[in-house]
Amino acid sequence: MKKFGKALYIGLIFLFLYLPIFTLVLLSFNDSKTPSSTWRGFTLKWFAEIFSREEWIEALINTLVIGLLAAGIATVIGVAASVGIMAISRRQRIVILQLTNIPMVNAEIVTAISLVLGFALFGLSLSMGTILFAHICFCLPYVILNVMPKLRQTGNISYEAARDLGAGPVKAFFSVVLPDIMPGVVTGFLMSFTMSVDDFVITYFTRPVGINTLSTLIYSQQKVGLRTSMCALSTLIFLLVLLVLLVRMFLTGRAAADKSTNGGV
């Protein structure tokens, strides 16, 4: 009985989290131009319509390009910064780490308007570049917070051993330190990419008129009436991501299983 109550509770929470997702997936197959709660029959035409809408494809490409560039650049700068931060004095380190926390705890809308005012201060007009800069800024903390703990775990020993054995600092980093911190680097990159793709508020403020990501496009659409094909597009993305993640989970799961059986022998 107690076990049943527990399963019911967990099930209800996850039902709550996934109900809108089931809804959106179902709606994208509904034969109705705007998302509606009445079922009018099954159709695939909204998936076909996606590709006839140039601005949507443009927004999708913008979203992916900004996401990849922001996550990639943030990862490079963030990993370099983490190595650097470990080498500076304790007091300076604390100051930098506290500043690193600001974009994470600050209200998004305040970060967004601060960036807009900052760009104005430097005389920059809003462009694709300002969106990218803003995204790098809010991605950086995710990289650093994932990489720093791994660096701390690894410590300096393996790096110094490599140096003693004659490796240059660059070689020592790439062949000894980087493989050790790789899980943190990958997590930092993936979190950054997810945050960038899902971001609405900061893009909405730092974009110029005429450039949209999927988020800002959805926002401006919902004011005039969302089309069902937008649900179809998001369903497509969601299912694609789900597939990639499942394959990845399956592969790492197998790798882990192999490892544990090898360890047993």
Partner 1 sequence: MSDKRKFLASPYIVFILCGTVIPLLAVLYYALVDKDGNLTFSNLASIADPVHLKSLGLSLLLALICTVICLLLAFPLGLMLRKSGGKKGFIIFMLILPMWMNFLLRTIAWKILLQKNGFINVIFTSLGLGEIDILNTPSAVVLGLVYDFLPFMILPIYNVMVKIDNSLVEAAYDLGATPFKVVRDVILPMSMPGIISGITMTFVPAMTTFAISEILGGNKILLIGNVIELEFLHGGSRNVGSGLSMVMMFFILISMALLNKFDKNGEGTVV
- Region from 40-48, 49-57, 211-219, 257-265 binding partner 1, contact rule CB under 8 A: 211-219
CB of 210 to partner 1, least distance (A): 15
Q: Does 121 bind partner 1 (CB under 8 A)?
A: yes
State how far the alpha carbon of 26 is from the alpha carbons of 21, 44, 52, 227, 239, in Å. Answer: 9, 11, 21, 14, 13
CB of 262 to partner 1, least distance (A): 19
Q: Which is nearer to partner 1, 48 or 76 (CB)?
A: 76
Distance CA 167, CA 159 (A): 9
Q: Does 84 bind partner 1 (CB under 8 A)?
A: yes
Among 65, 88, 247, 255, binds partner 1 (CB under 8 A): 88
Among 15, 21, 65, 247, binds partner 1 (CB under 8 A): 21
Q: Which is nearer to partner 1, 181 or 201 (CB)?
A: 201
Residue 100 near residue 234, CB atoms below 8 Å? no
Distance CA 151, CA 194 (A): 23
Residues 23-42 close enough to bind partner 1 by CB under 8 A? 23-24, 27, 35-38
**CA angle centred on 236, ends 234 and 240, rounded to 5°:** 115
Q: Which is nearer to partner 1, 24 or 64 (CB)?
A: 24
Residues 223-252 close enough to bind partner 1 by CB under 8 A? 226, 230-231, 234-235, 237-238, 241-242, 245, 249
CB of 118 to partner 1, least distance (A): 3
Among 32, 43, 118, 158, binds partner 1 (CB under 8 A): 118
Residues 40-69 close enough to bind partner 1 by CB under 8 A? none
Sequence-distant (6+) residues with CB within 8 A of 237 are 60
Q: Which is nearer to partner 1, 21 or 186 (CB)?
A: 21
Neighbouring-strand partners of residue 30: 42
Tokens representing 53? 């809408």
CB of 199 to partner 1, least distance (A): 9
Residue 167 near residue 158, CB atoms below 8 Å? no
3-state secondary structure of 30: strand
CB count within 10 Å of CB 212 equals 22
Helix ranges (DSSP H) in 155-227: 157-164, 169-172, 178-198, 201-206, 214-224
Residue 22 near residue 171, CB atoms below 8 Å? no
Q: Does 87 bind partner 1 (CB under 8 A)?
A: yes
- Region from 40-48, 53-61, 114-122, 257-265 binding partner 1, contact rule CB under 8 A: 114-122
